[in-house]
Amino acid sequence: MTHLGEICALLAPMGWSIALILFKRVQGASPLALNLFKNTFGVVLLTATMVALRISVPADRSAADWARVIGSGVLGLAVADTFLFEGLRRIGAARFALVDTTYAPMIVLLSWALYGEAPTVAILGGGAAVVLGVTVASVDPQDLRPRDLKFTGGREIAIGMAYAFLAVLGTATGVLIAKPVLVHSDLIEITWTRLSSGLVAMMIWAALRGKLREATSAFRPGTDWKTLVPAAFFGSYLSLIFWLGGYKWAPAAVAAVLNQLATVYILVLARMFLNERITPRQAVGSLLAASGALWIVWNRA
């Protein structure tokens, strides 16, 4: 199918955005518990999908390929997510959103350096518009002040920014590590293997830190499940399949730039379901980002 990779890359952030809006409604669960719940639920759904479609784990996968897939899951889902939580705790969402705009440029540079995927003029131009638009839409200079943060010292902010950058770097590196295996593997199976690897690593990390009880707190049935289950479905099942599908069928630079539109989706969904106002600044930034994405897809025809 024409533009299948681009379609997946555009649908992935939609799944993340819906999940984020739903997770915002969950009260009383720690980030670690939410992350473990959604990833476990994702593994269960992916396992059921593999059974239904009679998809099996390849027995002839080389040791090097196994190392890539498992390393990708551990780095992208266990290590990077841990850094993400540490960064958010120190610098808040506004500063983290600013650091997150480095994701697409980072993927462009790494894919060029690792696999020789030189970006075209259209990707560079459209990507710059997307990153600039997302920055304008998601980052309010007033929110970058240290008020209302638990840590306001310059040293703690610097450490938090470093954690945030490492989280983005881990996510970007993790998916690129798996890309050579991804292109010739079944999409559902590779998503399952990668997510399972990350889940096992997370559980081991939680146990070593003495946080296994906290990590599994969201598994106790309660009213939050009405929100947690659909959030996990969109966040750790559909979005992960589409996310890896984007990297499977499209150049990494294109997939990364289109993934960056999550911020635009979140603004629209927040307006529709949370009744949050979209400011003129956010509207202009969203239009700029959307225009950049359309420019890339149009020039990929």
Mean pLDDT (the chain, rounded)? 85
143 pLDDT band, cuts 50/70/90, is low
- Quote the pLDDT of residue 142: 64
pLDDT of 31 above 80: no
- Does the structure show a pLDDT above 50 at 122? yes
Rounded Cα distance between 206 and 192, Å, is 21
> Position of tokens 């839409």?
137
Query: Looking at the chain, which runs of residues are DSSP E strands?
Result: none
Cβ-based burial of 216 (10 A; exposed 0-12, middle 13-18, buried ≥19) = middle
Helix-, strand-, coil-residue percentages of the chain, each rounded to 5: 80, 0, 20
Q: Which of 149-153, 216-220, 270-274 has the largest mean confidence? A: 216-220
What residue ranges do the domains of the chain occupy? 4-299
Angstrom CA distances, 6 to 1, 19, 113, 208, stand at 11, 21, 22, 40
- What is the distance between the alpha carbons of residues 234 and 97, in angstroms, rounded to a whole number? 21
pLDDT value of position 147:
47
Residue 175 in contact with residue 255, Cβ under 8 Å?
A: no
Amino acid 151: pLDDT? 47
* The model's pTM: 0.85
Contacts of 210 (CB under 8 A, 6+ apart): none
Residue 238 pLDDT greater than 80, yes or no: yes
Alpha carbons 257 and 253: distance in angstroms, whole number: 6
Per-residue DSSP letters for 1-48?
A: -TTHHHHHHHHHHHHHHHHHHHHTT--S--HHHHHHHHHHHHHHHHHH
Q: pLDDT per residue over 241-255, tens digit each?
A: 999 999 999 999 899
Give how far Cα 87 sits from Cα of 20, 39, 83, 99, 171, Å: 17, 20, 6, 10, 14
Which phi and psi angles does 224 have, rounded to 5°? -65, -20
pLDDT confidence tier of residue 69, bands split at 50, 70 and 90: very high
pLDDT in tens, 11-30: 998 988 888 778 777 767 77
User: Residue 12: its pLDDT value, please?
Assistant: 94
Region 146-161 average pLDDT: 64
